[in-house]
Structure formats: structure tokens, C-alpha cells
Structure 1
């Protein structure tokens, strides 16, 4: 921002300033002047400036001054000399009606005329003067009396009773009103301010307005006016405003006491309706599958964001301060069809921007969407082999569905039609009729033309569809039979049978690899095939064998039957044994390992169920399986035992006869010796003659009653399931002697409880026995 060079202190008349940008404005008190401003006082204006360096500059009428900060005192002196009016000019001004007491800089005490920012408005605070009854005769060489001077007297009575005639000096109360041009458009013009008083002044009344303008109501008149030019500010935006001006002070106007209006004179500045147009443009040409860029363009920048809605539902936003905005819209995806087109889009609505009149263009934005040439293939296939007299089926296949029917012309004159939406079409073509000759051949057919489908590029394949036409011949059948039932380990007899005798030997190959030979002139032949050897498994089954090939015999058409020859192989029953073993000895808390053992490997998994609920799995191909079973957890009690387990069931393995053993597997469970502690406690302190309570405490609950014998002969019983027991023993009896001391008792022995190892503590239980105070009397006799 430019630097402040000066501040307007006071103004007479109208003074204008022009900014470096060419903006002309009327100065008011408190305005700031910036570097580059050009000031013009005009023919009747004057101004006093407070410069930034603290100096004051007075500029009179017809003065131009540039706010370029004088560089020296010489410059300031020159500017002051230019501005200072001569005595002759001052006399001419007074003769013209100017009041020098208000037009020139005040020399009496008083507040500064101008305040910050023009807020003072040129007014002054009150100055209290002493009534000295002095007078002065301002002789200047020509008459200065007012209109009523002839009637004036020399007596200026300031107060008190008087009988003098004061009619000529009577001050009339006058009310002032201020009016202004009621409305102007933003195109600019002249604002006329009119001040009206209800009583005419005897001398010119000068009215200062808050905008710096000055109205002079001539002596004897009721009104005065001033014209204030309003620079044009015509924009396309909604920015109506109002100008509010008030009276900030009056001077002169002898003979009336003016009441200044407090109501401002208001002028409404209305918008002139200027049109802003928004137009729509789009990408001229886009290939299918691409994006169309739509651009909305304003003829004036937006003051607020503008939302432009298009007929395709898209929305373009033009940011504040911008004239254009864009949006990208996808075109239909690329395809193989002829569907180049044009897309026409219009503006359906536009809001925002703070324009006075925003008019969307109705002209559409048109984009041409061009096809990208994609190829659709067309191939021809036919029946591979046909017997003479049959029909060849020709199939035409597209790589993309047809949009319209496709007509495919073949080299044999046939026509295939592929319906719209389909990819294939067929036609049947008859082959030459059956005859008695060996005339098998091949037929090769190609596509000679294809139309329709609305494809961008339809390319028929040039590869021919080839069909082999075979002779029709008389058929000779060949069947296979076999033994119905065989016990495992026996032989199956396979027999091949012809419906006609063979002219040459016939070789028949079976699916099991065996070969049967039928001699020339014969219709049958046989072969023996061994079955698997006897075993222990359930593998009774059926064997199904077919003919996999047959040659020879000089037949026109030898057709082997596909029906299998089926033989049932029955089992001979063999037994498989199953036994159970276990860990011989386990310490309590350990695991017993149970092992189930087969006399033959299992063909499928075997599940063995034990009497304790455990299950052993023997995997296919194995003879043994194991399971670990936890024994009861280790404890402190005597409870060694034996565990006997048997097999309660067994399934699986595919055995002909699985026989589990009934012999139990026995395991001895031995005790691990765990210690149970026994401690003794007693009353800490008792008085002599009182009772001591002894408590025996186990570290584990007793499995059966426990008897604890103490060193003092007392016995404590701990019940089964409990950990403590007590006994009460009398302390030493009360006497008159000082014999208090400690009583120590320990455990002598302990029995019972069914513990593996009961260990009594050797630490004694100690009780302090205190004396009771008994009095002994000593008497003396003589």
C-alpha cells in the first residue's frame, strides 16, 4: 500500500484529489493523502494539511499540489508561498462575502478542526471567553456593515434587565433541514444537496456537510444547495448502495440561531441492469470411450461461485474471480459396432456469481463421437465326418454378437443367417445318396461373403470347413462274455463272439490287456485270466472287462460291443487277530501307553475301542496303533493300584474276519512318596492358672483320622478331611510365688491320615505364663 503523505486538517469550499489510478474524489476533514495523489483546490477552495513529518501546509484557491512528500524546507516554503493569499486577495474575498473568521485558519485557542478519519467533521468545542466590554474597529478601507448595521446600537447587553430597544438585534430561532437527490443509478451523475432554514439569515450561512461539501445560504434566503459529482461505478454485479450525508457544522448566518438536523440526507444508488452471458462449449470430436470436456464461459468474472447445470445432468462450477469452469463427461465405452454419433448438450440452469442479470446461452455444445475401427471375426466350421447320404451341419460363428441380422454366403451356395443378438447360425447341407461303391471323400467349403450386423469391421475367415464323407457299410458285431462267478485265486474264461465268421484271423484286445484270437472261418475265441491270490481282506468284487480294440476279419464295418463282461470274485474267509498290550508299571500321575496289534496290515484305518473309553487308531497299511491315557494325578495318599483294560470293539481294516483278543492289558500304578507336614502351635501368653490351647496343623487334608501325641501327654485328634485339631491344657496353678516362665511342648508322635509320608515338626510350641499378683502378709508379734 502507498505511504500516507498528509492528513486533511481543515477545508474551505470543495477540494478534490485525483489518485494515481485516475479516481477523483471530494476531500473531507480527516482524509489521508497518499504518494502520487494530485490535489486541486479549485477557484474557491482552500485546505490545511498536516504533513507526515509534523509540519502544516496551507493551500489556497487555484492551487495544485502533488503528494510526493517535499524533500526540504525550501520545497515546503515554496508550496506555502504559493498557497498564501495576498492582502489584496483577502480583501476581495471579504467583499465577496467570505467570513475570514471561519474560512482562514483559527488563531484562537480551541480543539483541532480535523479528527482521525474525518470523524470530527469540522466542528469546534466551546471556548469560554471573559466579558471585558472591549470593542475594536476593524478598519480596512471600505464599509463592512451588515444589512442591519444602521439599526445597531453601541450597547451590547449580555444579560440583566434593560429597557433599551433590542428589536434590531433580536436572534430568531431557525430549524434547518437537509435534503438530497433521492436516487441515482450506479452510472453516476450529480448529487444535489439542499439546506433549508425556517428563518432567513442576515449574513451568508455556511453549512458544512459530512462529505466535505459546503452549502452557502445567501443572506436573506431560506435555501442553498451544492452539487457533488458522483463518479460512474457501473458494474455487472448486484451492488446497490446508499449515500448518507449529515450536517457537521455551520458558520455565519447572523440574526438566527440554527438547529442543525440530525437526520441524514440519503441517496439510494441503484443498479443498472447489465447482462452477463454464460456460454457452453465442448470438445469438437472424441473417439468412443473418451471424455468430452465441457467449458462454461462467463463474459464477466464471477464475484461468487457460479453453478452451471447441463442437460446431461453434469454440473460445472466456476470459481469466484474466474470466467471459466470445466467438467469431463465419459462417452459410451468402445465397442465393435457402427455407432458414431453427435452429442448435443445445453445449459439448463445457472446460479450464483452475484450478477445483476445472468443469461445462459441456449446454443448447444455439440461433440462428434467417432468410431474406433474394431474387428469382428467370422469363422466357418462343419461336421467332421458324415456317412454318405447324411447331412453336413455348417456353423458360422462371430467373435461379437450381431446388432442386426448377418447373412453369410458359402462357396457351395448355401446361406447361413445369424440373428440379431446372436453369435452363431447354422445350415444343413445333404451329402450324395448312399451307394454300393467305395467312394468316401472330403468336402471343403469356405465363406464367400458376409453382410449385416452393423459391425465397424467384419472380417470373414478364409479357412475352409472340411468334412469327411465315409461309406455306409454292413456291420459285423463283436461281443465279449466271461465266467459268472469265481473264488479268489481261480481263473476267468473270456469269450469273444462275432455275428459273422471271420475271413481272416481277428485279434480282439481286452481292457485288462489280454488278447483273444478268432481264427479265420470261426466266430469265437477264448482266453483264461488268473484272479488275485487268496488273502485275509474283504475284497470280494466284480471284474468288468471290455473290448478295447478289434482288427482283421476283412469286415466292411466291425463294431465291437461296448458292453462289459462281468465276473463276480468271492472271498474265502481268513481270520486276522487283534491284541492289546499296555505299560507294565507307571508311577501315579504318569501315562499308560496302550498298543493294539493286528496280525495282518490294515487295508483301511482300524478303530479300536477300549473298556476305559479310549480309542486307538491303526492307520491303513499299519499293524499297530497306540494311545496314551493319564493315570490319577499324584497325591500325598497311599493309593497304589493296578489298572486292567480290554478291547470292547474294533471296526475297519477291510478284513474278512477281524477277531479282537479278550485278554486284558494290566498296568501296576505305584505311589510316588510325597511328604505331608505336621506343625504345632499354642497360645502365645496365658496367666498362671489359665488354659493353653494347642493346635496341630497338616499341610494336606487327612485321608483318615490323625492322632497327634504331645510331649506333655496331651492328644490332639484331626478328623478325616480336616487339616487342624486342638486340645486345651491347664497352665501351672496360681500361687503366691514369683514363678512365671515359659511352657514348651512338642509333638512326640503322629499316626493315621493315610499319608504316603507324614513328617511332624520338631519345633516346640512356646507359651509365656505370667504371674498373677497375690499378696502375702507379714505380721509381727512380741
Structure 2
């Protein structure tokens, strides 16, 4: 049976309770909270709860509190004193107490509404008579104002009505019957297995007590599906129930609740609820069994896993032919089991079946099979008897299954190498020794284990011989013999064959020759080689198959060495450097013979790395041509020759340079002439102060050149140096000077900033010479006016715009050019303004401020003065205020106005002298509006209607403040047509003034 745990002492806003069944209801003052229910406050809500021990619990907005069983037990006895609390329990549990009762005066289907659910009055108001009648909806509650009902106050020691108070005459029976209900264990153990759920229904039983009686309604709730029945007599003074419930519904849920509803003769309803959890287990336990696939253990260990509880018995049945062995073993912690077959099995296959039953009676099964094998596998191993392969291939055969691992152990001295390899299809295996063996003998052991664990072994031996025979080969380094003799030595046995391979380009010649006594060999190349390098490879193989090799190279040379000589075509060096190239060997001697007229000079120089040579003529030559002869001899005695010629030139080229005397071009063009050859480069150096610029120009046909200065020069003088070098290295020079003048004449222009003169006078100054022409361009929109005026003595000028301008802004551009062509410019702007400024004025239409604030706007410039004239009867007040940023102004009337209308005039003058005006009117009203308020003197409406009248304008807001004790409620409502207003108190008031 559910018990209440607390009573709502007071609340503000909305407060809700969620029952243990998940039903949500709104609660009010005096409502009770039952054990297990959760109370929550909404936004702006709060609640104070009073517990059985007199303590209070207060919750603020957006808070929650869970009613516990301990608190419920403390107030359980008091709870049984109030029938209305049991009814509230029934309503919270979803009971409709009007189900089988005849309709009330409120009409069919009326369930009492919020009055019954909230612990307040249960009355039906008939609109036809407005008469209050007693409720006939099947229950009664004692609300505030009912005889015998006491409000719970903070200073009262008990939560509920004192049963010792004198009874009120003719008081109705509001006490609900107290009942209890208890569900028996489902299927006797609260555990449903697959067999029990295989039936269509399961009978759920239980007992009831208290004031329950035969025929009371029982409702079972299984996962939201309801099953109903009635209380029956179970004998021996015990009442209870027995209700078939769908097995499918029970299987889909994990708890069942039972509700008893008992109605006494006065129509009071008593309810109680019990809930019983249970377990559904229809799943057979999972079990696995693991038998060794093959084993040489005749009593193999059988293992497995299961989710059956620890201690459950697993029964194993081992079958081999006609032999059947049964053994049991317990489930261990972790859900595993393990057991040895209790008697020896024969060699061959066998099967194992495993079975386990869980506490619910569900049985799980699993099977596996294995085999006993106690015969070792056969194996052979074969290592090469002798090999020069240091990682020889080991092969063999075995009857172990394909995929079995053969372990080979190769032993050589202290070296032991182990390698694994799988058995291949056909029962063979092959593997290379994984690391190089040393030269010498070794042994191999092979081992294989079959799946049952039986091991077979075999051994073999071999030897490694990896020493190649030594050999040398000797070809002449260079020779003019086209069939040179090749010789060499070797430690291969006498009579072994040496194979020589002579390679020259695409030509490959092979010749064999025997090893002679003493380990030598010799042979001539059997066909003539061409001129050039060649290589020789020698190879000999010993009886073990090891091959020794050697190489050498030589060259055939029958050609004289190539040589070139290079004398400078023209040079101003009288001992010029002679260079050249040759393919004669480095260090060969080149002999040079220089001839100029009757002068003959001889000099020698060595060939350098890279085949070059270089030497200076050892004595000075005269200006003019000369010849050079070069000769070199290679080591074979072949001689190569070459000749060249050159000239000595000691005369510098002539050159001129021309810079503009004066220019406003900051990168002036420099020109000049020279007798240096066409294509020669002229280097120009332009110097201005610390600035030095360098540029080049090319001599063109006719002996001229031209180049622009590559960077802008500053204003002032500069110099130019020109230099050209001829082919012989002789240099000619020339210089010139010029000046840069880039300063434009200074000029100013002044147009009136604003003027109502449509042909304003434009003036200005300039440092251009007197008589220079100033050109003025006046632009206004699409209108462009041009006028010229001379510079006057003193550097001034003045001119009127020759045609009328329109109202609005305009610009003026002034330009003057000095004799050097430099142009000075200046601009200014002005405006024609013939329109007075716009202005508005705003006085409050009505105001109780006797010095009201006057505001307005204007397009007059910020800082302009607005003059305000306030007139009320014979009173005239003048005040000035500046125009603010944004074109606004504001000022308070400087002295108090009387109640009544007044006018305001505003005036502002712009900088051009144009004046704008505006007027407005307002009124001073200092009399408060009349208002009345009418609240019902007494009313049973907890949200009474408040009305009243006022002479305030329609739409004015009336603010009502309703105060009851510590409760203060504020509500607003508009004034209606006719000067009335009406509004309901927005939240329920308590009983009292």
C-alpha cells in the first residue's frame, strides 16, 4: 500500500508531482505527496513541504525532491485518518471513481476535476440556478471551509485533523476504506523459464487485507497491459485473487503491479498498490566444448566454457566405437570447466558431447571430436655432399600432415643454426640454410612433430667449399702491336683452362690457354685490334666449380696526337698568352714558335691535366700582326702540329659624349660618337652629388650611341663620363655636364566657401613670372567654365566667374606653366547657397512638466543658433540653443508655464544668412486622473473579478496590486471605452480578507 510522506504547506506558481507509475499531476496547497513520488517546481515556482516530524522542506524554481519510504513511515498512522488522502492516492494511480456510478448534476462523465484532485472543495455549480449543491461524483473531500476541516499551519504540531475534536453534527462519512494488497512470487520463485512461458497464460495470485472485501476490483498492470479480476475468499479467513495473465506480456516485462479498489457504502474509494519484480529466463545456457583435434594423450583433457552459474554440473559423454565414457565436472569461476577422460582411449577418432542445465531448467548442449595418435611420423633429410653454396638447400620427405613444421638443426663447429619449414603437398619439404656457413663440413638434423605430439627424427651431413682459385692478367698499357701478348699467373692446377675475353667497343674476342707448369699462362690476341683502348678479362675454374677472375686494360695507339693553338685575335698585351689543347698525355711537351716579321721566338710548355696548355710570349712583340706554330709528340713518337695568328693593338679608340645643358627630364638621353667597332659597349657614369649611376650603350652603325639615364636624377647639375674599350682592350674616355630643372611653379586658388553671389570672385597667388597665364576651370555638376587671367605684379591674380552658377557646390582648378614647361596646379571648392535652412520644432502635445523640453531638427550647420519663442497668453519666453551633431537641438523652457496650451516658434539662420522658421503647440496638464476600484466584498471565487472607472484616456494602463497576508499579486489592464476597466485576479487567493 502506498503511504503519503508530506503535505504541501504553501506554493507559488506551478508545482507538479510524478507518481511511481510515471503519472504527472499538478498539485496545490494541502495536497499530499506519497512515498516514492517526485515533486518538481517549474520556472518561477516554489513550494514548502511539511514532514511528519514537523520539519519543512523548501524548493525553489526548477528544483525536485523525492519522497522516501522512511518519511512515509513516520506519517503512516496519520495518513490512515484521512479518507480524502486515500482517494487522492487512487486518483494519482489513475482510478476513475465515477465509472459505475450514476451521473451527477454536472452531467455524465464528470470526474470531479481539479477540486477533488487538489485537496480543495468538490462542488458543482449549476449555471441554471447558480445554487451550490453537494457533490455526487462518488466521493467527498474535506476542503477549506468544510466543518471539521482544519488548515495545517506552521505552528500546529500535527499534519492532519485531530480525531479527538468533537464531531460535527450530520457530518458526512469522508473516510475511505483502508485496504492492502500483496502479490505472491510469480510461478512460486519469481523466475519464468521457457517452459512456463510456453503456456498461453500464467496465473498470478496474491492476498488482500485491511477493509478489502470479496468482489473488490483487482487490476494487474504488466508493461502497460491491464488484466482485471476480483477479490475472492481463499479460505481460513484469507482474501486474495487469482488472475490469468498473458505469458507473452509477462515475458516482455520484468515487473508486475497490482491495484485493489474498494468502495464502501458511503461511496468512499480505498486503493492500494503493490509491485513485484521478477526475472524472465527463457534462454538455454551457452556451452562450448573443446577436444584436442589430435593428441597422443590417451586420457586427453576436455575443456569448455558456459554461462551457466558457477557450480552447475557439466556432463561429458565420450564415445569411441562401442566405448562410451561419462564424466561430470563443475562449472568454475569465470564460466570454464575442465576434466580429463577418466580411462585410456584407443588410437583413433572419438566424439565428446557436453550438456549443462541452468537453475531455470534450460539445457544447453555442445559437441566436438578429436583423435588419439601415438605413432611417430617418418622423416628423411638430404644435405648436398659438397657445395660452394654457403646457404645450401636442405630437402627431405615425411608422412607428417601437410603444413606440419619440420625443424632443421645445422651444426658446423660451434655454429648451430635452426630453421623451420612446412611440409608441402606430397610430403616433401625444402629450405635454404638461413645464414652463410663457413667452408668445411657440417651436419643436419631434421625433426617433425605430428598434430598428436609424436616426433620423428633424421640426420645427414655435407661440406662447404667456397675458395676460388687465384688468377692475374697482364695486358700492355699502350702498344702499337694490334695483336698484343696477354700473360698471367694462377694457383689453379696445371692444365686448368684459362679463358681470356678481350673487349674493344663492340668487338669481343675469346681465347683459351692452359695453365703451364709454375702456374703461368701466355697467349697472343688472335685477331688485330683497332686503335683505342681495350679490356681483358681472365677466368679459371677449379674442380670444385669455384671460379677465379681478373681484369686488366691496355690501348692500341697508331695516331699522331691532336693539338690546337689559340693566339688572341687582337690584344694590347705585347707578351700575349698563347693557349691550346691536345690529346697527348699530361706532361708531354708542346713547342711554340712565334713569328713577327723577322722576329722568331721559340718557347716550350707542358701539357696540363685536362689536355690543355698555356704560356706567355717570353719577349715583347711590336704593334702589328704575328703567327704562332704549335707542335707536340706523344710517347709513341707520333707528332701533331697546329697554327694560329693574332695582332698587337696599342691605340685607344676616340669617343665623345653629349648631355642636355638643361632639362626637366630626370632621366635625360645621353648621346655621343666613337670610332670603336660597331657593337662595342660604351659605359656611361652619371654623377650628381653623391649619386653615381652607371649604364651602358651599344655602338651602332655610323659610330654613334645613345642611352637614357637609368634612374631619376634630382634637380640640379650633374656630370657624365663616357668610356669605350676596343677589341684590343684599349680604353677611350670623354666627359660632359648638364642640369635638371623639375620644379613646377607654386600656385594657390581661393573660392568663397559659401556665397549667395552666383558669379563669385576667384583669387590666388603664384611664383610664376608676372604675365604668366593662369587657367581657371570651374566645375559644377555637368557645367564646366574655363577662364584665363594674367599673373599680376606681386604674384597675385583675380577673376570673376564669367557666368552665373547654380545653387550648390562647385570646384575650382588653377593651373600655371613656367618657361621651363613645368606646370603648377591648385584646387579649391565653394558653394552657392540661396535657400534658407529647414527646421522643425516639437513641443510635447500634453505634459505635466511645467518647463517642458522643446526639441527639433534642422539642416543648418552644427553649432548654428536656434532661437525659440514660447508664448502662453501674455507670457513670451525666448531661449536660444545650438544645433547638435546629427542636426538636432533640445532645450528646456527656462521658466515654469501655467496649466493650459502654449505655442513655440523656432528660427535658425545658416552661414549664408538665410533664415528658416517652424512652429508647434503643446499643453501643460498637472491634474491627476480620477479612478475608482471595486473588489467583491465577499466571494467564493478565489480569482475574483476587480472592476473600476477612471477618466484617464481609453487604453491607459491600470495597475492593480492585490495583497492577502504575505501574498502580493500585481496585474495590469487597459482602460476601456466609457472609462471602465475589469480584470480577474490571475492566481487563486486563499480564504480570508
Q: What interval of TM-score do these two structures reach, taking the shorter chain for normalisation? A: under 0.3
Greater C-alpha radius of gyration: 1
Give the TM-score taking structure 2 as reference length. 0.23
Give the TM-score taking structure 1 as reference length. 0.28
